[in-house]
Amino acid sequence: MKEQSKWKQYPLSAAVRESLAAYGSKEQGMFTLDDYDRIPDQYRVELIDGVFYDLAAPLNIHQAILQLLSTAFGRLVEDHQGSCFVYPAPFDVQLDCDDRTMVQPDLSIICDRNRLVRRGCYGAPDLIVEILSESTAGKDRLLKLNKYKRAGVREYWIVDPDKRTVQVFHDLVNSDVSKIYTFGEKIPVGIWNNKWYIDFAKIGERIGILYDL
């Protein structure tokens, strides 16, 4: 019963629990990047304030949106000779520059090249996109929203495939105000002064067939 209660609040897969158990019996909230690095590569997890969270395998539609968004953002950078880099998950972001948090946003856009390190990003990306799934919706809308704001992420997009909406915090650092867009709209990119946009109508049209799966 003690072992079950230890993991009750933040459930992890049996495989991940076994990996961690081999290196000591820490409680959730006490883990560090040393523990994160001991997780076998075949298991995806995030470490947030010393707490491990499983990352379940994403659905087809999630991956389709991620691929299309990554391509769309990358094309904008290339077309306008921008200096930013676009990284889809899996991609390690040492968000707080400490040893207690390592996240893997669905999409990270980094314009400050000083934040790029060998293993990923050290510090806050300029723009982050999270695509909601049943297992991550609460974390993306609450926990990560607050973490990203405090860390200095300039812009945050939350894509909801079920509602076909995109909630955008265009100025996350300075404001809690967000705007809801539909999959039929063109969404301006705040970090690029709203001069460039992502045409979600094209993305919505492309993934439409997946809603029948």
Average pLDDT for residues 136-146, to the nearest whole number? 95
> With contact defined as beta carbons under 8 Å apart, do 124 and 186 qualify?
no
> For 37-41, 67-71, 193-197, 204-208, which range has the lowest pLDDT when averaged over its residues?
37-41
Place 25 in a pLDDT band, splitting at 50, 70 and 90. Answer: low
Is the pLDDT at 13 greater than 80? The verdict is no
Mapping DSSP to helix (H, G, I), strand (E, B) and coil, where does residue 11 land? coil
pLDDT-derived band of residue 22, with 50, 70 and 90 as boundaries? low
Q: Can you tell me which residue has the tokens 């970090």?
A: 191
Average pLDDT for 143-168:
98
- Say what the pTM is: 0.91
**What integer best gives the mean pLDDT of the chain?**
91
Contacts of 73 (CB under 8 A, 6+ apart): 86, 107, 109, 189, 198
Percent of the chain with pLDDT over 70: 91
Tell me: pLDDT of 8 over 50. Answer: no
pLDDT given at position 23? 60
What is the CATH class of 60-212? alpha beta
Interstrand relation of 92-94 and 51-54 (parallel, antiparallel or unpaired): unpaired
Ordered by start, the domain boundaries in the chain are: 2-54, 60-212
What pairing do the DSSP bridges indicate for beta strands 197-199 and 186-188? antiparallel
Asked whether the predicted pLDDT for residue 4 surpasses 60, the reply is no
Q: What percent of the chain has pLDDT over 90?
A: 78
* Res. 147: pLDDT tops 90: yes
Question: What pLDDT does 5 receive?
Answer: 38
66, 88 Cβ separation under 8 angstroms: yes
Tens digits of per-residue pLDDT, 42-86?
Answer: 889 999 999 999 998 899 999 999 999 999 999 999 999 889 999
Residue 87: closest CA among 51, 61, 113: 113
Query: Residues 98-108: what's their mean pLDDT?
Result: 98
- For the segment 156-167, what is each residue's pLDDT rounded down to a tens digit? 999 999 999 999
